Amino acid sequence: MSSVDVALVFGTRPEIVKLAGVARLLGPQARIVWTGQHWDAGLTTCFFEQYGLPRPHHLLTGVGGEARGQQIGRMIAALSDHFTKRPPAVAVVQGDTNTAAAGALGAHCAGIPVVHVEAGLRSFDDDMPEETNRRLIAPVADLHCAPTPTAAAHLLREGIDAGRVLVTGNTVVEATLETLPVEADAHRVLARYEVVRDAYVLATVHRPENTDDPARLAQLLDQLAAAGLPVLMPLHPRTRAAVDRYGLRRSVTRLRQIPPLDHATFLALARHCRLLVSDSGGVQEECTVLKRPLIVVRNSTERPEAVRAGFARLAQPGRQLACALREMLDDSTLTGRLARVPSPYGDGSASAEIVAAVRARYLTPDRTPGAQLPAPGYAPDRAGAVTAHRP
């Protein structure tokens, strides 16, 4: 590895999913740096293998399971040291995780330019750690790859120069399309979990706003159990720990608990469920590709595009969730209508757009790092794909 390579900073499963296409297109120029924020090998190793990625070129230790402040501090120190000793041409971070924030700040401290993939998302909810991470990355990023015109507009309002903002679409689109099993395999997945197409709910819960409030978590589990359809729920380690801590084992046993899923299995189940219920950011994007309705069990969302397009509905546990469950499960025409709605997150070319920009801006000998890009286009085309300018 040398200064002509691109450091891709991973630390969580969603980052593997969303940066795998970028890594594959960069080929030998990709330096994979793994922070270990998600430390459970059973939840991460299979994702590297599934996406055909090599073993990380550099690994951090002692990060997984730490409190947020300690985790981010350790990652910044370790990444800054690594980038100082072995400077890449550029560091790429994705999304709003602790890893993304630390990767951006660590690279910045080492004098390395930063590319932020999935830039510009805003929930305007300061109680969300992810919102803080997004706002920490923005001032130090050299190139902002915004997934939608809305995200780009947020950056411009915050004073980011238009020449540093590129609307690319979201890499989740191609990741979903490439990973979704063919129908024969998907039917085998449904048989394995003993569910029937369009006759079950798939639920995932892991965010602190749900897992750290015992009354809210209990209400959420009880309302899912009363949905009237089988509810498959892969238990996240944080959720499992909260269930044990708050004595909610009886509530969760009313649901169909299943082990954590690899991405392909999750997509197969999501593609054929009647309804998704989740607090995940990625699921809000994936549902628009899979054409399935979603209830977002959160206080706020940084992905309003899915809501505006009709795929998602924001609902907190309690009256909002009860109403959303009843109305969306009773609407027999909902999935048929969604099948005709284009995803607001692009046409599946985001990884190629990002790699083209990175190569032109940082890896071409006659281009100066940080040179201005043409002003991006912000309007979706007729098919719903986001227009982006290549430099």
Say if residue 90 is exposed, middle or buried (CB neighbours under 10 Å; 0-12, 13-18, 19+): buried
Instruction: Report the candidate in 162, 179, 102 with the shortest Cα–Cα distance to residue 136.
Output: 102
Q: Rounded to two decimals, what is the model's pTM?
A: 0.90
Q: In what helix (H) or strand (E) does residue 32 lie, and over which residues does it extend?
A: strand 30-34
- CATH of region 178-338, choose from 3.40.50.2000, 2.40.37.10, 2.30.110.10, 3.30.830.10: 3.40.50.2000
Q: In what helix (H) or strand (E) does residue 295 lie, and over which residues does it extend?
A: strand 294-296
Residue 243 token pair: 């269930």
Distance CA(201)–CA(261), nearest Å, equals 15
Does the pLDDT of residue 61 top 90, yes or no?
no
CATH number for the segment(s) 6-171+348-363: 3.40.50.2000
Q: What is the pLDDT of residue 41?
A: 62
Quick one: pLDDT band at residue 236, thresholds 50, 70, 90?
A: confident
Quick one: pLDDT band at residue 43, thresholds 50, 70, 90?
A: low
Q: Per mean pLDDT, which range of 114-118, 205-209, 326-330 is the poorest?
A: 205-209
Q: What 8-state DSSP symbol labels residue 357?
A: H
Q: In what helix (H) or strand (E) does residue 91 lie, and over which residues does it extend?
A: strand 90-94
Q: Is 263 a catalytic residue?
A: no
Q: Is the dihedral of CA 115, 119, 109, 208 positive or negative?
A: negative
Q: Are 73 and 42 in contact (CB under 8 A)?
A: no
Beta bridge partners of 203: 277
Q: What is the pLDDT of residue 388?
A: 35
Q: What is the pLDDT of residue 237?
A: 85
Can you tell me the mean pLDDT for 38-58? 76
pLDDT, greater one: 56 or 182: 182
Write out pLDDT tens, residues 321-373.
Answer: 999 999 999 999 999 999 999 999 999 999 999 999 999 999 976 554 444 44
Parts of the chain belonging to CATH 3.40.50.2000: 6-171+348-363, 178-338
Q: Per mean pLDDT, which range of 40-44, 145-149, 340-344 is the poorest?
A: 40-44
Instruction: Report the candidate in 179, 174, 207 with the shortest Cα–Cα distance to residue 302.
Output: 207
Q: What is the pLDDT of residue 49?
A: 80
Q: What is the pLDDT of residue 13?
A: 87
Left (φ > 0), alpha (ψ -120 to 50) or beta: where does 228 sit? left
Distance CA(353)–CA(391), nearest Å, equals 10
Amino acid at 206: H
Write out pLDDT tens, residues 241-254.
Answer: 999 999 999 889 99
Instruction: Report the candidate in 123, 109, 125, 171 with the shortest Cα–Cα distance to residue 146.
Output: 171
Distance CA(6)–CA(22), nearest Å, equals 10
Residue 339 token pair: 């099948």
Residue 118 token pair: 């999935």
Write out pLDDT tens, residues 62-81.
Answer: 887 788 899 999 999 999 99
For residue 208, CA distances in Å to 162, 214, 281, 297 come to 34, 11, 13, 12
Give the mean pLDDT of the chain.
Answer: 90
Q: What 8-state DSSP symbol labels residue 199?
A: S
Distance CA(134)–CA(116), nearest Å, equals 9
Write out pLDDT tens, residues 210-222.
Answer: 999 999 999 999 9
Whose tokens are 């594959």? That residue is 24
Write out pLDDT tens, residues 279-307.
Answer: 999 999 999 999 999 999 999 999 999 99
pLDDT, greater one: 269 or 64: 269
Q: What is the pLDDT of residue 90?
A: 98
Catalytic: which of 206, 236, 263, 389? 206
